Amino acid sequence: MGVRKIVKIDEEKCNGCGECVTSCVEGAIKIIDGKARLVSDSYCDGLGACLGHCPQDAITVEERDAVDFDEKAAMQHMAQSGKPQPQACGCPSSQARTIHREKQESGATPSAEQQSCLATWPVQLKLVSPNAPFLKDSHLLLAADCVPFAYANFHGKMLQGRPVVIACPKLDDISDYVQKLSDIIRLNGVKSLTVVRMEVPCCSGLVRIAQAAAAMSGTNVPIKEITVMINGDAFDNFGSQI
């Protein structure tokens, strides 16, 4: 028991559509008496994968006293309720899958090797200093760790000419990320922030980190969101393919 992040549902805004129920991989939310309700604090990991799926904006993440997230209990709860059970870490991103691609013809000449466009180091948000000179007046790229592996044109279409910081909202300790990113934006006059996330629900946390950091910085830095699908396609926040 202790203070931690956990989902909060505004019942006045909730219309009982159930979008959050299907997006909560831990089965922490149910529709009861026509409203979405958190059935147990121990089932909620506090990452808020359900937030972006609520058309009424009835769900937020707050910090309050709550029992610790119990992954084992959540998985048992899902099994008993008949909800499909994800693999290992309880997250859809861990579901094993094979992506079938067209094989290159034997003897075909491979395309020219692409040159790396990485111009700044380090890249891990945890390691980047807010005072790093390459951040000054930059168009910053914040990317999920998996993005460069899934999106083949990452260097040419996204990274070129930008400093990059990478993070994983599921596996990293993100407790300091909002403050650090806020400092980066505020101290360097960052001109724009492009967030590139994977399609899996837990990766939406990267967008929320960026939005919270921008608000904390007291600036009006524009934020652009790009979603990379597991099959390698990429779409901007207007649904246009990149």
Spell out the domains of the chain, with CATH numbers in brackets.
2-91 (3.30.70.20), 133-236 (3.40.50)
Closest to 233 in 3D by CA, of 153, 168, 160, 161: 153
Q: Of the spans 55-59, 111-115, 184-188, 202-206, which averages the highest pLDDT?
A: 184-188
Per-residue confidence (pLDDT) for residue 173, from 0 to 100: 81
**Residue reference for tokens 């979603």:** 227
Mean pLDDT in the chain? 84
Question: From residue 218, how far is each of 111, 123, 137, 185, 211 by CA, in Å?
Answer: 45, 24, 16, 9, 11
Higher per-residue pLDDT: 142 or 87: 142
Per-residue confidence (pLDDT) for residue 52, from 0 to 100: 64
Task: Please determine, for residue 36, whether its predicted confidence score (pLDDT) is greater than 60.
Answer: yes
Per-residue confidence (pLDDT) for residue 57, from 0 to 100: 87
**Residue reference for tokens 């939406």:** 204
Q: Picking from 90-94, 176-180, 211-215, 224-228, which range would have the lowest pLDDT averaged per residue?
A: 90-94
Per-residue confidence (pLDDT) for residue 232, from 0 to 100: 93
- Beta-sheet strands, E only, within the chain: 2-9, 29-32, 35-38, 59-66, 139-144, 164-167, 192-198, 223-228, 234-236
Q: Tell me: the pLDDT tens digits for 165-191?
A: 999 988 888 878 999 999 999 999 999
Per-residue confidence (pLDDT) for residue 90, from 0 to 100: 44
Task: Please determine, for residue 196, whether its predicted confidence score (pLDDT) is greater than 70.
Answer: yes
Q: Tell me: the pLDDT tens digits for 44-103?
A: 988 877 776 688 889 998 999 999 988 888 777 776 665 544 444 444 454 444 445 565
- Check: pTM over 0.75? Answer yes or no: no
Per-residue confidence (pLDDT) for residue 37, from 0 to 100: 92
Per-residue confidence (pLDDT) for residue 87, from 0 to 100: 42
Per-residue confidence (pLDDT) for residue 215, from 0 to 100: 93
